[in-house]
A and B are shown apart, each in its own frame.
Chain A
């Protein structure tokens, strides 16, 4: 049972008069903002996870908030679903179009509206790329902290929709911790401003990570941080994965919280080394990349403590980046790990479970065992500091049954994460991809509470239908398959 849309298991989509829709949209959008030909729609048929694909009825590329409002108004009147898409780098089929709906792409809403260097806030449109924010504020000695590996391409609107993380979450938090306010266009056409200062329940927190099901973010004010004056990046090698995992827990237990703490196993680090020439030790069983930042005196003190801890945990070598160029190289290897691993096999499938740190060793053993069982190699790259795993399952989709096998292996890993007290997604989101596992992580009453919350924002259910929260029918079906498997 896959995450593919299934009429028997998912809510039926409304019947839409495409001609009437195109006529209505053409009246409010310039011709170049409305794509209707199949060859124009094809590039939008999937997001960063191409296992689920669909062509939307039309794709719209509004370049102003007024145009977004006009599109929403057309869709509301005609009862047409809307899927919002940022840069399309998401890894959970959150921006996969629905066949009976409009795909609303925010990439042309790409203005940095204002920078308040004193208050350390930047007001931006949703299509602004993550890294473009840091670039725009660098002259003030500031940066935007959340840094997903896709930060060159991904947009802040998508980051807000998914509550995106990154390699420096350990110290700086996720998107939720770095956004001051969001202006949301709801399906009823209203502009609602949600801020961290609001009295009452934290609606801003509920909106962030709602995967396009609550509203369309049309303006986002992010918090900025001063660029740390001192940074040290350590590349630490181990000759066993177990030692490396233990080093992570030991560090945290000793009261050292690095800005980032990333782990790669041998398959991943060799692929990254071949791809990026980052200077990783190819013979290591696993490496940690650890970054410390802050005032020079405290960074120096923490580095000393950290090196001692790493040696005590069995590190075979410790290298500190000599300068910014070498630091960038160390990170380039890590941040290009996905495309690097992608060169090993025609396809890869990236998982995103999170577990308590103490269980890292156990889950890695389990992944290894399942990898042999399904006969599919797995490369492990992850945010070790916060227990967020990114096992990359390697396969060849041209071989019959290979994709299904990869999806089964992925499901096994996610369900193991739940058993260990973790979660099926740390930062990539549920989308269509993990829709079945939601039935394992949550009870029917909890899922129904999610549906009621969704209806509070979007009573007609027109925003990103079929994503994130499974139907009761799908849950029952998936749970019965699981219990049969156990029996």
Chain B
């Protein structure tokens, strides 16, 4: 259903009245954009549906309130998938929320993350303007890359209404191999060796002395990999449990234990995710923008999209 008119009107009204809005998709990540007490909610729950999908173009255009799971099922029907695997909280996350948060899943270290798969979008800025950036083609450098700028913006620059995303063919086969290793560096060294030999690694995690590697590709290549690399064949469900945050670690932790996904680029501890050298993000209180780098520049960018700060009720710049 197309709820864009109502959404744009609600933003324009808030801009005129100087009130704050808190953007909400399906509410699977209530901590993403924490709000002041009297903040009005802007819901994308009714703004759903696939707008355009021609598998031969490797692009899908979808309304932002569409559930990730629903979108992925439609793609799988045509033998395709999104070119990234953003976390799907409680199986309820929307594609708009996944892009706004911008967390890339296990595939990101090898095949790109959320930002690599966003080709274009339609959005409403803080002035209530209906804007389109990017497009539905693979290569597009006309104007500044606002579509990708929105990745990770956590609703602070505007409301994403529609997204055009890159899709890829489903691999012919996927397998997971597990190998005992002493630590993260040796796990990374093994992955370096495997990718260097051309094996189609699509995910690598390290936890509890175990490297798990997922290979995605032609069946013959995976047969060759299995024979050459050894390791124990495991269920692919491991990656699903990471993606859906079903692993016990996410909920009650393992004491001091850590789980490294994305070949070490992402580190999970209880209720918290850290990427690279960035500040950890809590799954309880959400990202702390006071800890974002380049605060002054970021504040000016926020101002450029949302001069009345209607999307930045608290956690001020």
What is the interface of chain A, defined by CB distance below 8 A to chain B? 118, 120, 141, 162-163, 165, 169-170, 173-174, 176-177, 186, 192-203, 205-206, 208-210, 213, 226, 228-230, 249, 252-253, 255-257, 294-298, 300-302, 354-358, 383, 386-388, 421-430, 434, 438, 441-443, 445-447, 449-450, 452-457, 459, 468-469
Contact = CB atoms under 8 A, between A and B. Distances in A.
Given A209-B144, A441-B142, A452-B304, A423 B200 contact: no
A200 B317 CA distance: 11
Interface in B98-145: 102, 112-113, 115-116, 125, 129-133, 135-145
A446 B143 CA distance: 9
A112 B195 CA distance: 24
A141 B297 contact: no
A205 B200 contact: no
B198 A228 contact: yes
A259 to B, nearest CB: 12
B181 interface: no
A193 B139 contact: no
Contact of B198 (A206, A213, A294, A301): A294
| Interface-central residue, A170, A173, A200, A442, by most chain B CB under 10 Å | A200
Interface residues of B, number: 80
A228 B196 CA distance: 7
A202 B294 contact: no
Contact of B278 (A199, A228, A302): A199
B275 interface: yes
Nearest to B55: A253
B132 A446 contact: yes
A445 B220 CA distance: 52
Interface string B152-178: 111011000000000011100000000
Nearest to B195: A226
Interface of B: 54-59, 79, 102, 112-113, 115-116, 125, 129-133, 135-146, 148-154, 156-157, 168-170, 188-189, 192, 195-200, 217-221, 223-225, 265, 275-279, 281, 287, 289, 291-294, 297-298, 300-305
Contacts of A193: 293-294
Given A210-B145, A295-B225, A354-B137, 13 more contacts: A198-B152, A199-B281, A200-B298, A201-B149, A201-B151, A201-B302, A203-B297, A210-B144, A295-B198, A301-B218, A388-B139, A438-B142, A457-B297
B148 A206 contact: yes
Contacts of B276: 195-197
Contact of A422 (B115, B137, B199, B224): B137
Contact of A426 (B116, B140, B145): B140
Contacts, number: 249
A206 B146 contact: yes
Given A192-B297, A205-B115, A449-B131, A197 B277 contact: yes
A309 B150 CA distance: 39
Nearest to B225: A295
Contacts of A203: 149, 294, 297-298, 301
A422 to B, nearest CB: 5
Contacts of B265: 197
Given A169-B139, A226-B198, A205 B145 contact: yes
A456 B196 CA distance: 42
A384 B194 CA distance: 31
Contacts of A162: 141
Given A206-B149, A298-B217, A453 B304 contact: yes
Nearest 3 interchain pairs by C-beta: A197-B276, A205-B148, A255-B169
Given A163-B145, A193-B293, A205 B305 contact: no
A428 B57 CA distance: 22
| Interface-central residue, B57, B135, B142, B221, by most chain A CB under 10 Å | B142
